[in-house]
A = this chain, B = another copy of it.
Amino acid sequence: MVSVTSGAELVISEEEASSIAEEVHLLIRAGDEHTAWERMRHLHPSDIGSILASLPRGSRNAVVAVMSPETVAWMFRHMNPVVAARVGTRLGTGVLSAALAQAHPRTALDTLRRLPRRRAREVADALGQSVADGTLDEHDLDDAGAFMVSRFPTIGSGQGVGTARDQLREFAGTWYGFTHIFVVESGDVLTGQVSMIDLAKSPDATPIQSITTPVLAEVSVDTPREECARLHRHYNVTQLPVVEDGRLIGVIPAEFLLSASIEEDTEQMLQVASVAGDSADGPLLASVRSRLPWLTINLGTTFLAAFTVSLFESTLARVVVLAAFLPVVAGQGGIGGTQTLTLIVRAIALGQLVGVSASRLLVRELALGLLHGVWLGVLVAVVAWLWQQNIGLGLVLGLAMLGNMAMAGLVGAGVPLLLRRIGVDPAVASAVAVTTVTDVFGFLLFLGIASAAISLLI
């Protein structure tokens, strides 16, 4: 953090950033990259990065060509890791590898893994593998190892604060937002930590041991991002030691823990909407690749719903108006199920359901579904009756609504809880599964009751 504020950069609002971006767009279109860069150069690196990311490819390369390689590296070093990865994927291989060679290893990795596999290899080759060695394997890139930094200061447990201070000043790596310094014995055996606050407050004569506290949690290189995010949020851990065979080999500093949590949240929110891994302004084909499989799977499930309806063709032929109410049944079941589902998925992610039994949650959502179903059932029955002047239709629709809302509560809670139980991420595919059930069950119920009670309808 410290060094970020060393320049003249200012924090600006999103509106200001947008209007500067617009000016920059216009200047570049007029061929004046130098003025465009002048307009941006005093901004915070995160804002320069955002604006660069927002430019069309040609314009972006034109501005970057005007910036010195040192400036590009400075920008990459100081902007927020998520922005860095975004702008990084949009630069040419030459500029990008030069910048990444100077950037935080973590930023470099983050950028590399967002590139198409072939470009990632190109850039990694240009980087001389020093950063990317062995880390391009997609499997590892969401694990703790990809978030850790390998150069960090430590203190020996036998030292005094004054000696430790002298020694810390000699540390030649980057000072991330470290909140603690880890205490080691025999060079790299982790024995505790000293908070930066205690170190800042203590007089030189204080023995390190007297301000050493236990380390709350440690991870290994292959601890999943999800668990890092949990330690960060549930225990307020601000810095994680990465340990291998009892040796301290890395540290995940505060900013990368935060970025792990943000990525985790984004992925979860996008997963519920079947759009995980996509970005709002990346290459078109990448979006197709991430969305089309889910759309195709969903098509299969809608055909299941269509097949269900087709079973009742003879009933529909006799009471055509039933068709008009199919979207009412499906729409309400879908929204009810998605409400429950989203709430449960989020609560699981935040660890709020620890110790809460699945059956209690299921009963709760079933009860809620029934409560909502009674109200919505009565409402829908009255409206349908008044609209179609057909009290039988109102009754059938109201009953189907009651049943389907109860089902929506059950599957909305049941699907993510079941997925968690069998060790699958509860957000994946939950929404598609839930709406499939509420569609199919809703139609079965509505058209089934209608068929059975068809004398009421005609």
Contact = CB atoms under 8 A, between A and B. Distances in A.
Interface string A393-410: 000000000000000000
Interface stretch (A46-54, A62-70, A105-113): A46-54
Given A5-B213, A335-B295, A288 B372 contact: yes
Contact of A266 (B316, B317, B324, B350): B350
A323 B335 contact: no
A107 to B, nearest CB: 12
Nearest to A196: B196
A269 B232 CA distance: 20
Contact of A51 (B4, B53, B310, B354): B354
Contact of A355 (B54, B262, B342): B54
A121 to B, nearest CB: 26
Given A299-B379, A346-B266, A439-B331, A355 B86 contact: no
Interface string A277-321: 011110010011001101110110111011101100100110011
A236 interface: yes
Interface in A1-42: 1-2, 4-6, 9, 11, 14, 17-18, 20-22, 24-25
Given A165-B203, A270-B346, A339-B294, A197 B175 contact: yes
Contacts of A275: 339-340, 342-343
Given A270-B343, A273-B338, A326 B327 contact: yes
A78 B316 CA distance: 62
Nearest to A335: B298
Interface in A53-88: 53-55, 80, 82-83, 86
22 contacts: A1-B236, A51-B355, A55-B355, A80-B235, A165-B201, A204-B204, A275-B340, A280-B343, A280-B361, A281-B356, A288-B371, A295-B372, A295-B376, A303-B328, A309-B323, A313-B320, A316-B320, A317-B320, A320-B323, A326-B326, A331-B435, A331-B439
Given A275-B343, A279-B343, A376-B299, A309 B326 contact: yes
A268 B431 CA distance: 17
A347 B235 contact: no
A368 B165 contact: no
A217 interface: yes
Contacts of A342: 269-270, 272-273, 275
Contact of A302 (B309, B332, B367, B372): B332
A340 to B, nearest CB: 8
Contacts of A120: none
A209 interface: no
A351 interface: yes
- Contact-residue size bin, chain A (C-beta under 8 Å from the other chain): 35 or more
Interface in A158-180: 165-166, 168-169, 175, 177-180
A57 to B, nearest CB: 12
A231 interface: yes
A21 B355 CA distance: 5
A335 B50 contact: no
Given A320-B320, A443-B327, A380 B307 contact: no
A262 B233 contact: yes
B301 A324 contact: no
A334 interface: yes
A258 interface: yes
Given A326-B326, A383-B303, A354 B54 contact: yes
Given A299-B379, A355-B18, A234 B46 contact: yes
Interface in A129-144: none
Contacts of A46: 234-236
A295 B236 contact: no
Contact of A254 (B254, B292, B316): B254
B351 A50 contact: yes
A214 interface: yes
Q: Which of A168, A302, A322 has the most CB of B within 10 A?
A: A302
Contacts of A341: 273
Given A14-B354, A339-B274, A328 B347 contact: no
Q: Which of A169, A236, A272, A379 has the most CB of B within 10 A?
A: A236
